[in-house]
Structure 1
Amino acid sequence: MKRKIVNFLKYNKVAYTAYYYIMSVAINFLKLFVKPDDKLVLFNSFAGRKYDDSPKAVFEAMKNDSRFSSYHFVWAFHQPEQFDVVGAEKIKTDGLLYFITALKARVWITNSSVERGLDFKGKNTFYLNTWHGTPIKKMGTDIAKGNQSFGSKGKNKTDIMNTQSEFETNVFSKCFGIPKEHFLKVGLPRNDELANYFKNQRNELRLKLGIPLDKKVILYCPTFREYEKDENLGVVLAPPMDLEKWKTMLESQYVLLFRAHYEVSKVMDIKENEFVRNVTDYPSLNELMIASDILISDYSSVFFDFSIMDKCMLYFTYDYDKYKEKRGMYFDIRKCISGASNEEDLLTLLLELNVENEIPKTENFRKKYVNYYGNAAVQTMECVARNIL
């Protein structure tokens, strides 16, 4: 029921507008009675869905730094009972305690948003947004007005946002309304692991995942289509391929890991077997990327992260024209790497693929679109320290 209500508010313009103005006024009125706490840091990842990504990397750095030993760390989740967090208090998003905590906090650290679609900020809050990836698809005010799923109101209150490239800085400055001088050019803390992993981790992770060491691993990570919804207005994804056919043609060479976007509430019609695994709920995307040899995606920011490892990347843009019309893109991924726009051509490509021949294309992509990476968690922590200590 809660998901249905949230999706209704998100996708119904009239309902969202009413929610935005009424609740924003209420929270800002509440702020008059909340005393700021200079030692409180509030974290969330994907607005409360997960305990991972860059906010977790920054949390780990701060937790292990003596300068923050007296600080009270709080993580907000939609379902706190699902997560084991050492060194922090857990609270539930959307309740009164959540909004009071947000108003009290000296620091907000997120990779998406803290405000729950509203317009407020604590009296003394430093707002750090690491964000969660470089965009191929249009974002913020660049999205067509007819796309109601991503309406935004009010001025962006972010104090510092991480960036991993000049391209990303230029895009986000425009579409999110953040001055360029507010960007921290160090990369995404979550990607430190990808830049610094040891080669033997690949085999260790494959053993952990139960993947034969003699098979090449394909990680398929499509982005979501906000216009594909179920009866509860949740975004859904049906695999755009015949997985039985893929198994028949590829299982002698490959294992396929299927990873849906975090916005997807339901992944339909995946029958797992020794060839295909549904890893949508696997807790660490980084581990899946390290274990993989090949990334296949479409318009997802996962390309930028994966490119840090200089591995083979392929596009599968079966709905390019439709996606371009409904969402829009900043550039054509098909001009950057190899791939296919239909299933038959992609299968042929995989059967004949020389992985090593594709790596120079990945390297060129990385050099163009990922300028900063490798030590972002520490540098982001230092940014927080400069602003609050």
Structure 2
Amino acid sequence: MKNIKKFFFRNILPLLFRLFPIKSDTIVFSSFGGRNYSGNPKVICEKMIQQGIDLKYVWLIKPEVEVDLPKEIQRVAYDSWRAAYYLYTAKFWIDDSRKTIAIKKREPQIYFQTWHGTPLKLIEFDAKDKLSNHYLNYSARDSESITYLLSGNRYSSEIYPRAFKISKEKILNIGTPRNDQLAIYPKKDISFFEKKQLNILFAPTFRDNLSENGIPQLEKLNILEIKKYFATQNVDIIFMVKFHPNVNRNLSNDQTSLNYMKKNQFNLLPDGQSLEELFEEIDLLITDYSSIFFDYALLGKPLILFNYDEAEYKQERGFYLTLTDLPVPTAKNGLALIDVFKNQKDKLEYSSQRLLDFIGNFETGKSTDYIIELILKEV
């Protein structure tokens, strides 16, 4: 029954609603397939509301998602008849992931695809052998509808035309709204190695084999050895860990994991914690294959890529580049991490700026304003 409803809302109702007039004062937002109120769409929407721009703001959200929306936003259930109505009568669409619709937008409509991060792993049609035909079919239709695709750097702009099957002319090299605040974050004068207290965040990506997540990742990192090293330098460490939600739940419910957390003394961050909001408090990011390190680099702070299983992960997911090609320190185990602190100080200290230069950074803190200006010209 559920699949029949989806088919009706995605295939039949659009044919009807395409006969209705387009409303130039209406914007339809969505994030991660209706699972979130977040990311680039959220930043754009809230800034327009803050500026007092009098338009109709509609968010497509799955019914089971609990979220508090600003009073100016109308919530509409994802995959409902109302969602189909607003999609095909609103002048603007703003999304950060693929739309699962069977019929492309109408010619006068404008679709801002803001995507959700700089790609390290293969994405979209570059990863077609790892994605379902069902998803790829929707993606093909979605690409046909895209008016503008936002890019935060030259590296992404070189990938997107092939990965999305769109022309280069559709790419806006203006940065991304969720990174506007990071781009204008004031850079600190004090060196990483001069600080007497450090907030270190470990944020690994998810492994398809559940047994490889959580404690096994922490054991390879060896938090206690890192703390011992910094103790010899008279530096206090506050260690934070951010896992995938599924991993977090398992850790929180397993006594062995809880004992491990207590012994190693680290803070396990909750699922709802926004990393972008936390970045300003972090002095060092350690991650593996999460594209968040491209965003974090905007702060000009040190980062290390913990690539202990790079060969296996690359075979599983596919990469656009080899991590050791990046101007960023890498480490395959805890001892190698400590070696970075001891013997690669210059590479660590300037890792973020060199990474931004390497990818050709477009982030200036003004992308949201640029998009709003484009919208207002069309209203």
TM-score by length of 1: 0.78
Checking the alignment, whether the CA contact within 8 Å between 1:219 and 1:288 is kept in structure 2 is no
- Pick the aligned partner of 1:58 from 25, 44, 48: 44
Deviations for 1:263-290, whole angstroms, at most 9, x for unmatched residues?
x544333535583223252342212111
Which position in structure 2 is the counterpart of 1:308?
298
Instruction: Describe the shift of the 1:43–1:260 C-alpha distance in structure 2 as closer, same or farther (beyond 3 A).
Output: farther
Q: CA deviation at 1:302?
A: 0.9
Provide the rounded CA distance (Å) in 1 between the counterparts of 2:220 and 2:93.
46
Contact 1:296 1:316 in 2 (8 A): yes
| Alignment RMSD (CA, Å) | 3.3
Alignment of 1:220 onto 2:202: yes
1:363 Cα deviation after fit: 1.4
Deviation (angstroms), 1:243: 5.5
The equivalent residue for 1:42 is 28
- Cα distance in structure 1, aligned partners of 2:240 and 2:103: 39
Q: Which residue of 1 aligns with 2:240?
A: 257
What is the alpha-carbon distance in structure 2 between the residues aligned to residue 338 and residue 73 of structure 1? 44
Distance 1:93 1:329, change over 3 A: same
The 8 Å contact of residues 113 and 148 in structure 2, kept in 1 or not, is answered as yes
- The structure whose residues are more often helix, as a share, is 2
Identity, in percent, stands at: 23
CA contact (8 A) 2:301 2:351 kept: no
Matched-pair contact (CA < 8 Å) for 2:22–2:89: yes
CA distance in 2, matches of 1:355, 1:51: 39
Distance 1:117 1:367 in 2: 38
Higher-Rg structure is 2
Deviation of the 1:344 alpha carbon:
4.6
Rounded Cα–Cα distance in structure 1 between residues aligned with 2:288 and 2:267: 19
Match of 1:140 in 2: 124
Q: Tell me which residue corresponds to 1:88.
A: 73
Pairing 1:282–2:272 present: yes
Question: The residue matched to 2:330 in structure 1 has which SS?
Answer: strand
1:69-80 equivalence runs, <5 A: 69=54, 71-78=55-62, 79-80=64-65
8 Å CA contact 1:307, 1:363 repeated in 2: yes
Give the whole-Å Cα distance in 2 for the aligned partners of 1:130 and 1:94: 21
Cα separation, 1, equivalents of 2:237 and 2:73: 41
Partner residue of 1:131 out of 110, 115, 121: 115
Code of the residue aligned with 1:93 in structure 2: it is Y
1:145 maps to amino acid: D
State yes or no: 1:167 paired with 2:155: yes
Q: Which range is displaced more, 55-64 or 118-127?
A: 118-127
Instruction: Give the residue type in structure 1 aligned to 2:86.
Output: T
Using structure 2 for the length normalisation, give the TM-score: 0.80
Q: Given the alignment, which residue of 361, 372, 377 partners 1:381?
A: 372
Task: Encode CA deviations 1:24-58: one digit per residue, 9 max, x unaligned.
Answer: 43243343454432211111222222222211221
Q: Which residue of 1 aligns with 2:192?
A: none
**For the residues of structure 2 that align with 1:179 and 1:30, how far apart are their CA atoms?**
30
What is the aligned partner in structure 2 of residue 189 from structure 1? 177
- Give the aligned length: 350
| Corresponding residue SS for 1:254 | strand
TM-aligned CA distance change 1:33 to 1:119, over 3 Å: closer
Distance 2:13 2:335 in 1: 53
2:9·2:80 contact (CA, 8 Å) conserved in 1?
Answer: no
Matches within 5 A, 1:201-220: 215-220=197-202
Gaps of 5+ in 1: 6-14, 201-212, 231-235
The code of the aligned residue for 2:74 comes to E
Q: CA deviation at 1:93?
A: 1.7
Question: Helix, strand or coil for the counterpart of 1:145?
Answer: helix
Within 1, Cα distance between the matches of 2:341 and 2:349?
Answer: 17
Aligned to 2:69, the other structure's residue is in SS state coil
